[in-house]
A = this chain, B = another copy of it.
Amino acid sequence: MASHTRRRVRAADVAKAAGVSPTAVSFAFNPRETGNISPETKQRILDTAERLGYEPNHVARSLRSQTTHSIGMVTDSVASSPFGGRLLAAAAERAEAAGHIMLVMDLHSRDEREAAAIHELERRQVDALIYASMGFRILSSGPRTYLPVVLANCTAEREDELSVYPDDAYGATRALEHLADLGHRRVTMLSGHWNPLGPRDNQGNISGPLRRDAFLAAARSRGVEATIIEGGWDIDDGYHAAMSALDRPSDQRPTGLFAVTDRSAVGAMLAAARLGLDVPGDLSIVGFDDQEKMAENTVPPLTTIALPHARMGEEAVAMALAAVAGETIVDRRRALPCELVVRESTAPPRWSLTAPPR
């Protein structure tokens, strides 16, 4: 094996080569107001450093400055979720832009590991902690630590905890209004139930009821007849729910469907195909999530509500950094809008080309 032993060059080496003291080197790399060095010296040092391939040793710097420029992320399986990784990726990118790095601890759906994970992150002296949940939940309290924490894709009962989460109600409202604007007067929602004991990766996820209630409220205020079918979140759940909603005479059949997830929407498309219903001709479908490689690629492409995963990751890091800097943060709870993405699975109902019903 090749010799990996190329000894790293230290500040002292650069100092000697440039004929200055280690302090000067430090100053060259950490510009400051007062007690500065002359531009020429600085340039000479930087050149020498470059020539020697000098890189400040981050560990030594961290020990001295008591800040590691790193942010810990503990996730209850976000990293392994179908789209939650976007949150992590966006957070990592935002952190990097600020000279920080993300340390990841995935709980892998085993809560008892939480304390240990946080402990480890504390030992590693991370500057702050982001706690990301896979499903949108309300925690009775944030993780116990002396570090600044921001909750991502979840929030806490205590109002002073820092958190970013999706505004599900806003998204569901957008969905109904889109359908209503198109002229639909009878719609049904394939809803995801709230299940405190459900599959671990969806435990206590409250997006379902949030979306349902907002959808219902919006329907009421727009005078649209709305029905709810409670069910699960996956393709098969959507399929079965849609089957029961659609397998009936056309004058009783909804013309618009709002699925609690894109996966459920795909199931609904399958059901429609089985029933010989054209989308969007006979039936409009709106999903939720804007899941990658999914919503965009259904046939026809799915109109849906986008979950702001990337923005949550960015905001979480921004808040964490602000907290570290000791800034006062005004909006400690940030609900990010879930915006409508119009594609081709929605259209005016057929009858609207002739005359509205009733």
Contact = CB atoms under 8 A, between A and B. Distances in A.
Interface stretch (A15-23, A165-173, A187-195, A294-302): A294-302
Contacts of A70: 103
Given A122-B55, A263-B297, A297-B235, A89 B101 contact: no
Contacts of A239: 299
Given A146-B6, A294-B263, A105 B92 contact: yes
Nearest to A87: B80
Contacts of A96: 105, 117, 120
A103 B103 contact: yes
A58 interface: yes
Nearest to A125: B59
A103 B120 CA distance: 14
B299 A235 contact: yes
B120 A101 contact: yes
A150 interface: no
A51 interface: no
Interface in A92-139: 92-93, 96, 101-106, 108, 117, 119-120, 122-125
A119 B96 CA distance: 12
Interface SS, A side: mixed
A269 interface: yes
Nearest to A266: B266
Interface residues of A, number: 68
A274 interface: yes
Nearest to A267: B299
A293 interface: yes
Contacts of A79: 79, 85, 88-89, 92
Interface string A266-301: 110110011000000000000000011110011101
Contacts of A240: 299
A238 B273 CA distance: 15
Contacts of A57: 63, 123, 125
Lowest 6 A-B CB distances belong to which pairs? A273-B273, A80-B89, A85-B85, A234-B297, A89-B106, A235-B297
